[in-house]
């Protein structure tokens, strides 16, 4: 009695579902056959030549992927070697100018260093020179009393250095991307050969330095500065005599810079011109 009240559509549902399941069970069989046929078809992207194996997984790289990786590694290695060669060339150019290698500072130019005039903003160079100067000052502190003395000089404890004046000369505009190598050299007034006014003689509290910014992209000095530095006692808030040890260190650095300058200059001369 109960089954007689079941609508005919519901009584026929199982057969419909069965037919639906049967249709789905046949679909994969057809797809597999098509895929197997594609493996044998040379014009198909799925073609597998006889005797070869397919990938281990759908995400496995192609057999030639290793060659691309190797090529990329070779290219990256060549770029690294080229960058290192450019840096060594820049170091040589600064050494030619008598710069102290302990002051060398690599300054990478970022997009934000540029202004609306489409070159690195002139104010940026003050910061660039400051970074190299602080690195050089750290080397002085380390030579005078180890890391503790260098740390004290950077934090303004006891006797340290302050910038009295700076003059910046802009030779060439710099644009992104580029890297500048910056170096410092001490002025030795007794051996001053560059054009312009001779700087004052070094006294006990004050001395002069020159800095150069060399562009690796342009292979040229793009900016230089002349600065007056003062020994300053932060405990007494006054300039001071740093003592004979500091004075001797500056003289040694200045003499070494001059010696390197002349040694490298003579090495580049052609003997036939002078004989």
Q: Give residue-wise pLDDT tens across range 139-150.
A: 999 999 999 999
Q: How far is residue 255's CA from residue 67's CA, in Å, rounded to a whole number?
A: 54
Measured CA to CA, the distance from residue 228 to residue 206 in angstroms comes to 7
Question: What is the C-alpha to C-alpha distance for residues 166 and 126, in angstroms, rounded to an integer?
Answer: 9
Cα–Cα dist 79/85, whole Å: 10
| Model pLDDT, residue 226 | 95
Confidence grade of residue 46 (pLDDT, cut at 50, 70, 90): confident
Q: How far is CA 239 from CA 19, 48, 121, 151, in A?
A: 101, 83, 33, 19
Third-level CATH fold of 91-191+200-270:
Thiol Ester Dehydrase; Chain A (3.10.129)
Alpha helices by DSSP H, 113-243? 124-154
Q: Is the pTM of this model over 0.85?
A: no
List, for residues 181-204, the tens digit of each pLDDT value.
Answer: 999 999 754 554 555 555 555 578
Per-residue pLDDT tens digits for 48-97: 788 777 666 666 665 555 556 676 677 777 778 888 999 999 999 999 99
Contact 143, 136 (CB under 8 A): no
The answer to whether the Cα torsion of 136, 137, 141, 146 is positive or negative is: negative
Tell me if 138 sits within 8 A of 150, measured CB to CB.
Answer: yes
Count of CB atoms situated within 10 Å of the CB of 225: 21
């Amino acid at each position: 009695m109960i089954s007689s009240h079941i609508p005919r559509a519901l009584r026929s549902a199982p057969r419909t579902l069965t037919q639906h399941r049967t249709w789905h069970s046949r679909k994969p069989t057809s797809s597999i056959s098509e895929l197997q046929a594609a493996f044998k078809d040379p014009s198909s992207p799925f073609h597998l030549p006889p005797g070869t194996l397919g990938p281990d997984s759908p995400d496995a790289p192609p057999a030639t992927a290793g060659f691309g990786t190797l090529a990329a590694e070779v290219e990256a290695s060549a770029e690294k070697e080229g960058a290192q060669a450019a840096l060594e060339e820049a170091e040589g150019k600064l050494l030619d100018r008598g710069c102290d290698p302990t002051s060398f500072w690599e300054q990478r130019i970022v997009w934000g260093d540029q202004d609306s005039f489409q070159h690195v903003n002139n104010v940026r160079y003050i910061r660039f020179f400051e970074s190299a100067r602080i690195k050089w000052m750290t080397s002085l502190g380390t030579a005078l009393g180890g890391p503790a003395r260098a740390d004290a000089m950077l934090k303004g404890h006891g006797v340290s250095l302050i910038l009295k004046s700076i003059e910046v000369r802009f030779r060439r505009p710099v644009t992104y991307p580029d890297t500048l190598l910056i170096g410092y050299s001490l002025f030795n007034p007794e051996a001053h050969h560059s054009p312009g006014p001779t700087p004052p003689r070094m006294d006990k509290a004050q001395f002069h330095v020159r800095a150069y910014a060399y562009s690796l992209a342009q292979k040229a000095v793009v900016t230089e500065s002349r600065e007056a530095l003062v020994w300053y006692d932060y405990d007494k808030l006054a300039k001071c005599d740093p003592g004979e040890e500091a004075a001797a260190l500056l003289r040694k650095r200045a003499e070494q810079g001059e010696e390197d300058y002349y040694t490298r200059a003579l090495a580049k001369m052609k003997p036939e011109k002078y004989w």
